[in-house]
């Protein structure tokens, strides 16, 4: 090397070395976790929706009014309403695997109890026990998934998981009519029990907690504070707005899921199998619209507007579905599926942006499940009561339109993008 070249090298300022950007990677086993948690989640709505296709048999045996039928669906949410917030505490104490196993055991025990119920009161109590299991799985499942997936994949993974409710409805709406051919409604309850037992075995064998540095542990910051995490979460303005939107959404979901099948049977003369199949079209569409909504929310980052616009447009379903001729009903149900999927997916996937601190995620999800159960309780009772008073399916449907708009307005008021 010459003297001149050495001088040039010496005089050249040293450029600071920068570390390459860290790319969040998704571990392969995360997809196994997503599958296992998804199957465990599906068991809850599968058992919850044993009632709609079984309405004729249940009404005949227990001499039920439509208000009683609605309560069989709503009472499923009472235990969830009570247990959602405590679940945030014992999830921290017991861990994910134990909490998930307890949830499945409660659903299975409630299903067995319901099978042997000989009175309306006993059947109602069994539904409460099943609802307790659903409350727990509804809180812990999203947290388990978020713990395994990085932020850039959270919308997609949560979108896939968000189809759990739809898959449960689809399975029950199409399997139950075949089991009810004999007129024995207990066969539907036994099917729910066996499905729950199989899911419990799958969950116990394959679920495990992630290593540190994944998912929620890799984002945000932990803040040491003497303040209760639950209290800190409740102080968040956007947490309240998001919760109100979720209450409104679930009023709509449960009113539709409970009364659309009997409406199709009574008004349009469809048998149980055809009514169940037609009612499940929206849930089938959601199998695509939920993941698509999650994918778009990851890319567009306009989450509150996806919720607000979705809830606004869902009002058209209620405007037409319970009053239009039968040939137009499938189109309205497809509209429901296209809009409901992205709406619920974004409501759940936006939660980390609302709570901002990883240690608040469990309590944030507990609050969402609490409000979800509130909506699930109100929806069937509200629609059933309106029908019993007015005798009109369309009046019950029109009453859901303000519910849509309230949810849309509260979502639009959120400061989170």
Tokens of 87: 């679940």
Dihedrals φ, ψ of 185, to 5°? Answer: -70, -25
Query: Given pLDDT bands bounded at 50, 70 and 90, which one contains residue 280?
Result: confident
Confidence bin at 89 (pLDDT 50/70/90): confident
Mean pLDDT computed over 244-256: 92
User: What is the C-alpha separation between 93 and 90, in angstroms, rounded?
Assistant: 5
Q: What is the mean pLDDT of residues 221-234?
A: 68
Cβ neighbours for 368, distance < 8 A, ≥ 6 positions apart: 242, 243, 246, 347, 348, 351
Separation between Cα atoms, residue 417 and residue 414, nearest integer Å: 8
- Please give the pLDDT value at position 2: 44
More confident residue, 334 or 147: 334
Domain ranges of the chain: 37-207+227-412
Instruction: From 286, 220, 295, 260, select the one nearest 379 (Cα to Cα).
Output: 260
Which residues, in sequence order, are CB contacts of 310 under 8 Å at separation 6+? 339, 340, 342, 343, 346, 408
User: Please, how many CA atoms are within 13 Å of residue 153, restricted to the half-sphere of its CB?
Assistant: 21
* Most confident among 6-20, 140-154, 244-258, 352-366 (mean pLDDT): 244-258
Q: Which pTM does this prediction carry?
A: 0.70
pLDDT at residue 158 in the model: 83
Amino acid 220: pLDDT = 42
**pLDDT score recorded for residue 4:** 46
315 or 83, which is more confident: 315
Name the more confident of 110 and 182.
Answer: 110
Confidence at residue 26, expressed as pLDDT on a 0 to 100 scale? 73
| Cβ-based neighbour number of residue 14 at 10 Å | 5
Place of tokens 């303000």: 402
Q: Which residue has the higher pLDDT, 256 or 377?
A: 256
| Ramachandran quadrant class, 220 (left: phi over 0; alpha: psi -120 to 50; beta: rest) | left
What band does 101 get if pLDDT is binned at 50, 70 and 90? very high
Residues 6+ apart with CB under 8 A from 247: 371, 372, 374, 375, 378, 407
In whole angstroms, how far apart are CA 360 and each of 17, 232, 236, 352, 357?
Answer: 36, 8, 11, 9, 6
Distance CA 26, CA 47 (A): 32
pLDDT-derived band of residue 226, with 50, 70 and 90 as boundaries? low
**CATH superfamily name and code, 37-207+227-412:** MFS general substrate transporter like domains (1.20.1250.20)
Percent of the chain topping pLDDT 90 = 35
Cα gap 269→186, rounded to integer Å: 24
Distance CA 66, CA 75 (A): 14
Rounded average pLDDT over 213-228:
53
Whether residue 393 has pLDDT greater than 80? yes
- Please write the tens of the pLDDT for every residue from 5-50: 444 444 444 444 444 444 467 778 989 999 999 999 999 999 988 9
DSSP state of 321: T
Contacts of residue 104, defined as CB under 8 A and 6 or more positions apart, other chains included, come to 40, 43, 133, 137, 196, 199, 200, 203
Read out DSSP for 217-271? GGSS-----SS-HHHHHHT-HHHHHHHHHHHHHHHHHHHHHHHHHHHHHHHS---
**In this predicted model, what pLDDT tens digit does every residue of 105-120 receive, in sequence order?**
999 999 999 999 989 9
Q: Which secondary-structure segment (H or E) carries 83? A: helix 78-94
Give the pLDDT confidence score for residue 216 in this predicted structure: 52
Average pLDDT of the chain? 83
pLDDT-derived band at 314, boundaries 50, 70, 90: very high
């Amino acid at each position: 090397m010459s003297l001149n070249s050495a001088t040039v090298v010496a005089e050249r300022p040293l450029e600071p070395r920068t570390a390459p950007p860290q790319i969040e990677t998704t571990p392969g086993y995360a997809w196994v976790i997503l599958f296992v948690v998804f199957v465990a989640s599906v068991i809850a709505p599968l058992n919850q929706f044993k009632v709609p296709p079984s309405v004729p048999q249940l009404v005949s045996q227990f001499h039920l009014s439509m208000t009683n039928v609605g309560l069989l669906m709503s009472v499923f949410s009472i235990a969830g309403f009570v247990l959602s917030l405590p679940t945030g505490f014992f999830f921290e104490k017991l861990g994910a695997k134990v909490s998930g196993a307890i949830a499945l055991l409660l659903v299975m025990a409630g299903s067995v109890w319901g099978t042997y119920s000989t009175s309306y009161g006993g059947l109602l109590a069994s539904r409460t026990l099943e609802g307790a299991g659903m409350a727990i799985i509804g809180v812990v499942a999203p947290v388990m998934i978020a713990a395994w997936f990085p932020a850039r994949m959270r919308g997609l993974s949560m979108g896939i998981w968000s189809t759990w409710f739809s898959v449960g409805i689809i399975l029950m709406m199409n399997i139950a009519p075949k089991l009810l051919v004999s007129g024995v409604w207990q066969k539907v309850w036994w099917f729910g029990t066996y499905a729950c037992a199989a899911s419990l075995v799958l969950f116990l064998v394959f679920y495990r907690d992630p290593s540190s540095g994944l998912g929620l542990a890799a984002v945000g910051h932990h803040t040491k504070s003497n303040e209760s995490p639950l209290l800190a979460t409740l102080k968040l303005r956007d947490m309240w707005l998001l919760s109100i939107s979720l209450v409104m959404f679930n009023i709509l979901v449960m009113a539709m899921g409970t009364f659309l099948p009997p409406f199709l049977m009574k008004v349009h003369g469809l048998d149980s199998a055809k009514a169940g199949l037609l009612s499940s079209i929206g849930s089938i569409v959601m199998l695509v619209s939920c993941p698509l909504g999650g994918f778009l929310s990851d890319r567009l980052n306009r989450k509150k507007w996806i919720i607000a616009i979705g809830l606004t447009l869902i009002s058209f379903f209620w405007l037409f579905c319970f009053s239009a001729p039968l040939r137009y009903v499938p189109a309205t149900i497809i509209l429901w599926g296209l809009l409901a999927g992205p709406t619920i997916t974004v409501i759940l996937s936006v939660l980390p942006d609302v709570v901002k601190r990883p240690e608040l995620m469990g309590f944030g999800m507990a609050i969402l499940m609490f409000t979800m159960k509130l909506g699930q309780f109100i929806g069937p009772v509200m629609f059933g009561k309106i029908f019993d008073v007015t005798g009109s399916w369309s009046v019950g449907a029109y009453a859901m339109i303000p519910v849509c708009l309230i949810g849309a307005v509260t979502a639009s008021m959120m400061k989170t993008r």
